Each structure stands twice: as structure tokens, then as C-alpha cells.
Amino acid sequence: MKITFCGGAGAVTGANYLLDDGRDKILVDCGLKQGEAVFEKENWKPFFYNPAEIKAVFITHSHLDHIGLLPKLFRDGFRGKIFSTAPTKDFSELLLKDSQHILHEDAIKFKRPLLYDEKDIEGVMTLWEGGGYHQTIEFGKYKATYYNAGHILGSGSILMESNKVKTVFSGDLGNSPAPIIGVKEVMPEAHYALIESTYGNRFHEPQGQTKEILKKMILETVHGHGVLMIPAFAMERTQHLLFELQELINNHEIPRVPVFLDSPLAIKVTTVYERYSNYFDKGSQQMIQKGIKLFDFESLKKTLTTTESKEINSVSAPKIVIAGAGMSHAGRILHHELRYLPDPRSTLLIVGYQTEGSLGRAILDGEREVTIMNERIPVRCHVKAIGGYSAHADQRQLLEWMSPNSKKIRKVFVVQGEEGAPVLRQKIEEELGLEAVVPETNEEYDLI
Ligand SMILES: [Zn+2]
């Protein structure tokens, strides 16, 4: 079997691996390249392979940097099968449609051709089959099995076998234990492994402190009669926040202030979460059996329409507003920031990574004045960040994922990382005694 690293080599985003067992060409992931403009431009380049020759795509999870180029693959001739877990399929449909909307606006703004359109997304969805963990999918001579990667709901590591050679694709690995999705499974036994390295050079803050910090901020905001703004990522981070808010309210640790979930995408994603409670960890399933709603409480209002969103303004402080986008680069959060960034009683709480050049990053870096919708706005509110909401494993967890079943490993490919990749590669060699490489883009290896 041959593997080619068509994306995700030396970069966190754009995961795309081509496998050829001599009979069928298949892919694992087909992700969008995200980040700097020069890098994003590569999404418009032709694929390294002929999409019409690809028989199947196995998807690890529904983040756009793993699924975002599927509609383009379809547009360029792919008509094979797509496999993933069932939640990944449903989340992907929502996220692809949402990204199409953003791409459409960007295409007009930057006068560039559309990467794909709605018809391509519809086409992709007709080819997609959702399954479960530990079920073996047979396709040609390939056998694929999904293991819980603990990263986002439905995320999987894939063990792929063909011609008696087993290769494991980590996908993105979670920061375990995470509420709701629980603990990731360790790497299954294999001959070759691809391991992600987003945080291959980092160590996270201890888990379990996020709820306490969140509680403290809410109490401060309530006492100061301010507004707590949380720019949130629609997927995972929002559900994690809702889950913790629900616990704080039900345990009477915070007063019942109005909470608004002001993101249509996050509202829809939460509905998919509720549909797949069989993927939740035991603790969450027990809570559901007791009649507890994990992502809902009396003082929560989900504002789907623009009119409902505008009505948030007429609700007096204190209040909590969770709105997208997570890096304040677009979305409804901008309307709230326009209004409350100048308010010294209010707080902006940052719960995720803020990329260089984003508005969220500028505020976090201490800019005292920013531009929102062509208006210069002073930043007088409190600005706080919580790091513990990361959905990625750190270096220690990455090594722990690999070590129990690494005896038969012949080579490790360290992928989906930038500064993290060479550091993790060295650690794998030193601590696990395995041969490890950081492959280059379009580099091919024999898996024998
Ligand atoms: Zn991911």
C-alpha cells in the first residue's frame, strides 16, 4: 500500500491523505486549508490526484479542516462513497452549508471564483454513509474501523487495514476527559501511525478549572451589572459552555440571569448533539435519565432569527451573550461588541485560540481601540481568557495515546502540526523508541 500526504503535512489544517492498495485509491479526510491568505489560496488549486479516480473518502471528524474540500472534490468529478460516524455526517452537512454562505460572501468581496456551490454540497451528502464506533466497514480490500478520538462529538481515529498492513489515522485527538464526550480511546494496534501534532510542543492548564473561572466571571458581571460577552465556536465549545452553565444554575451556584445563545449555527449544532446522546459519556447519559437537560435551562433563550437577536439589546444588564464567531472576525458577536466593548462594567471572555490578524486577537493583545463595521470603538470592558476549553490533546496526552499499543509500529508520521510536529517527532523517538518522520506535502511512502 502507498500513502501520499496531499495535505496536513507541516500544517495544522487541510488534512488529506491518499491511500492506494494497488486496486482502489481512497482518501482519509479532505480538509480546507485555513489560516494565512497565501495558504488559503491553495484551496483553489487542482487536487494532486484525479478526483474521478477516488473510490471512497473516510472522514475522521466534522471540522472544516478535515471536510471542507469535499464539495470541491465532488465538483471536480468524485462520485465514490463517503464514510464517517453518524454524528459527523450530520454536523458536516450543517458546517458545509454554513461555510458555503461565508465563501459566497468572500467571493463577492474579493472577486474570486466560488470554490463550490450548494449543489455540490447536496451531491456530497447523497454519497455519505454514517456508521458507529467499532463497526468494521469493508470497502474493496480495505477494512476501516472507527475509535472514539474524544475531540468533538462523533470524532474518530481510523484503523485502516489492507493487504494485512494496518495503518492508524489519529484524526484530531481530544483533551480528555472532556465533558459530554468523555475519554478518548488509546491507539489501536497498527504497523503505521499518523498522529496529529497541533499541540505537540505544548502542555495544557490542568483540567476542571474552567467551570470555576466561568462562575467567578459571571458573579463579577452580575454584581457589576455588566454584560458577559462570550465569542463562541459553534461546535463543541458552545455545548461545553452550555453544559457548565446548566450545572452552575441547577446547583444554584450562579443567579438566574438571562443567557442568550445568539448563533443560528450553534443552535442547530446543539440540536444535533441532543439527537446523539448515545455518543455521550456515562455521566451525561445518567443525567439525561434523571430528566436533566444538558444544554438547556429556564433562563436560556436561543435567538435563531435576526429579530430575536436584536431584541437582546432591550434586555437590561446583567446578562450573558454567547455569539459567534469565536475569533470575533464575523457574525453576531460584532453587534454586541460594538455596544459593550466601551462599557467598563462588561466583560469579554475569550474561550478559544485567536489567530493572528483576527479582531479577537487584537483585543486580547490589549488594543485600546478597534474597528468594527467601519466604526472606531474604544475597548473599556474587562478582557479575560480561559485556556482550558481546548479540544486538542497536548504533548503528554499525544504520547499517552500512542504508547500502550506501539509495539508493532514500523514508522510514525507526525502530521497536522506546525511548530508542534518536529518537537513531537523527537519525543516519539526518544520516549517511545519509534522511528518517526514529519512528511512533506505530496511526499509518498510505501506501507509494507
Ligand atoms: Zn478538529
CB contact set of 348 (below 8 Å; sequence gap of 6+): 229, 231, 337, 340, 341, 363, 381, 382, 383, 384
Domain of 78, in residue numbers:
2-203+391-446
In the reported structure, the alpha carbon of residue 408 is separated from the centroid of ligand 1 by a whole-number distance in angstroms of: 27
For residues 62 and 88, is the Cβ–Cβ distance under 8 A?
yes
Using pLDDT thresholds of 50, 70 and 90, give the confidence band for residue 231. Answer: very high
Q: Assess whether pLDDT exceeds 80 at residue 297.
A: yes
Average pLDDT over residues 348-376: 91
Using pLDDT thresholds of 50, 70 and 90, give the confidence band for residue 354. Answer: confident
Containing 303, the helix (H) or strand (E) segment is none
In the reported structure, the alpha carbon of residue 226 is separated from the centroid of ligand 1 by a whole-number distance in angstroms of: 33
In the reported structure, the alpha carbon of residue 337 is separated from the centroid of ligand 1 by a whole-number distance in angstroms of: 27
In the reported structure, the alpha carbon of residue 257 is separated from the centroid of ligand 1 by a whole-number distance in angstroms of: 32
Q: Assess whether pLDDT exceeds 80 at residue 327.
A: yes
Same domain, 177 and 222: no
Q: Helix or strand or coil: residue 368? A: coil
In the reported structure, the alpha carbon of residue 251 is separated from the centroid of ligand 1 by a whole-number distance in angstroms of: 32
pLDDT at 219: 97
Where does a domain end: 385, 411, 428? 385
pLDDT at 205: 73
Same domain, 196 and 217: no
Q: Assess whether pLDDT exceeds 80 at residue 417.
A: yes
φ and ψ at 230, to 5 degrees? -125, 100
In the reported structure, the alpha carbon of residue 138 is separated from the centroid of ligand 1 by a whole-number distance in angstroms of: 25
In the reported structure, the alpha carbon of residue 7 is separated from the centroid of ligand 1 by a whole-number distance in angstroms of: 14
In the reported structure, the alpha carbon of residue 429 is separated from the centroid of ligand 1 by a whole-number distance in angstroms of: 25
Q: What is the DSSP letter of 19?
A: E
In the reported structure, the alpha carbon of residue 196 is separated from the centroid of ligand 1 by a whole-number distance in angstroms of: 10
In the reported structure, the alpha carbon of residue 66 is separated from the centroid of ligand 1 by a whole-number distance in angstroms of: 7
What's the half-sphere exposure (Cβ side, CA atoms, 13 Å) at 413?
Answer: 29
In the reported structure, the alpha carbon of residue 151 is separated from the centroid of ligand 1 by a whole-number distance in angstroms of: 7
Same domain, 184 and 258: no
Same domain, 349 and 300: yes
Same domain, 190 and 336: no
In the reported structure, the alpha carbon of residue 256 is separated from the centroid of ligand 1 by a whole-number distance in angstroms of: 33
CATH assignment at residue 10: 3.60.15.10
In the reported structure, the alpha carbon of residue 61 is separated from the centroid of ligand 1 by a whole-number distance in angstroms of: 7
Where does a domain end: 349, 367, 385? 385
Average pLDDT over residues 202-212: 80
Beta strand 227-231 with 319-323 is parallel
In the reported structure, the alpha carbon of residue 63 is separated from the centroid of ligand 1 by a whole-number distance in angstroms of: 5
For residues 412 and 437, is the Cβ–Cβ distance under 8 A?
yes
For residues 156 and 128, is the Cβ–Cβ distance under 8 A?
no
In the reported structure, the alpha carbon of residue 172 is separated from the centroid of ligand 1 by a whole-number distance in angstroms of: 5
In the reported structure, the alpha carbon of residue 181 is separated from the centroid of ligand 1 by a whole-number distance in angstroms of: 14
For residues 100 and 117, is the Cβ–Cβ distance under 8 A?
yes
Average pLDDT over residues 95-108: 86
In the reported structure, the alpha carbon of residue 49 is separated from the centroid of ligand 1 by a whole-number distance in angstroms of: 24
Same domain, 309 and 191: no
In the reported structure, the alpha carbon of residue 114 is separated from the centroid of ligand 1 by a whole-number distance in angstroms of: 24
Same domain, 12 and 151: yes
Percent of the chain exceeding pLDDT 90 equals 83
Average pLDDT over residues 81-95: 98
Using pLDDT thresholds of 50, 70 and 90, give the confidence band for residue 289. Answer: very high
In the reported structure, the alpha carbon of residue 150 is separated from the centroid of ligand 1 by a whole-number distance in angstroms of: 10
In the reported structure, the alpha carbon of residue 174 is separated from the centroid of ligand 1 by a whole-number distance in angstroms of: 9
In the reported structure, the alpha carbon of residue 95 is separated from the centroid of ligand 1 by a whole-number distance in angstroms of: 13
Where does a domain end: 353, 385, 417? 385
Using pLDDT thresholds of 50, 70 and 90, give the confidence band for residue 112. Answer: confident
Same domain, 160 and 293: no
The reply to whether omega before 177 is within 30° of 0 (cis) is: yes
pLDDT at 46: 96
pLDDT at 329: 83
Which of residues 93 and 356 earns the better pLDDT score?
93
In the reported structure, the alpha carbon of residue 432 is separated from the centroid of ligand 1 by a whole-number distance in angstroms of: 25
pLDDT at 131: 97
Q: Assess whether pLDDT exceeds 80 at residue 384.
A: yes
Which of residues 105 and 215 earns the better pLDDT score?
215
Q: Assess whether pLDDT exceeds 90 at residue 100.
A: no
Containing 28, the helix (H) or strand (E) segment is strand 25-28
Average pLDDT over residues 60-71: 96
Q: Helix or strand or coil: residue 414? A: strand
Same domain, 244 and 380: yes
- When divided into structural domains, the chain yields a total of 2
CATH assignment at residue 256: 3.40.50.10890
Give Dmax over CA atoms of the chain in angstroms: 67
In the reported structure, the alpha carbon of residue 220 is separated from the centroid of ligand 1 by a whole-number distance in angstroms of: 33
Using pLDDT thresholds of 50, 70 and 90, give the confidence band for residue 102. Answer: confident
In the reported structure, the alpha carbon of residue 67 is separated from the centroid of ligand 1 by a whole-number distance in angstroms of: 10
In the reported structure, the alpha carbon of residue 6 is separated from the centroid of ligand 1 by a whole-number distance in angstroms of: 18
**pLDDT tens track for 313-325:** 999 999 999 999 8
Average pLDDT over residues 426-443: 98
Q: Assess whether pLDDT exceeds 80 at residue 36.
A: no
Angstrom CA distances, 397 to 204, 312, 438, stand at: 10, 41, 19
Average pLDDT over residues 86-106: 91
In the reported structure, the alpha carbon of residue 170 is separated from the centroid of ligand 1 by a whole-number distance in angstroms of: 11
Q: Name the average pLDDT for the chain.
A: 94
In the reported structure, the alpha carbon of residue 64 is separated from the centroid of ligand 1 by a whole-number distance in angstroms of: 8
pLDDT at 370: 96
Angstrom CA distances, 77 to 50, 99, 123, 318, 398, stand at: 8, 21, 11, 53, 36
Same domain, 184 and 222: no
pLDDT at 340: 97
Same domain, 215 and 158: no
Same domain, 184 and 215: no
In the reported structure, the alpha carbon of residue 154 is separated from the centroid of ligand 1 by a whole-number distance in angstroms of: 11
Residues 260, 223: Cα–Cα separation, whole Å = 19
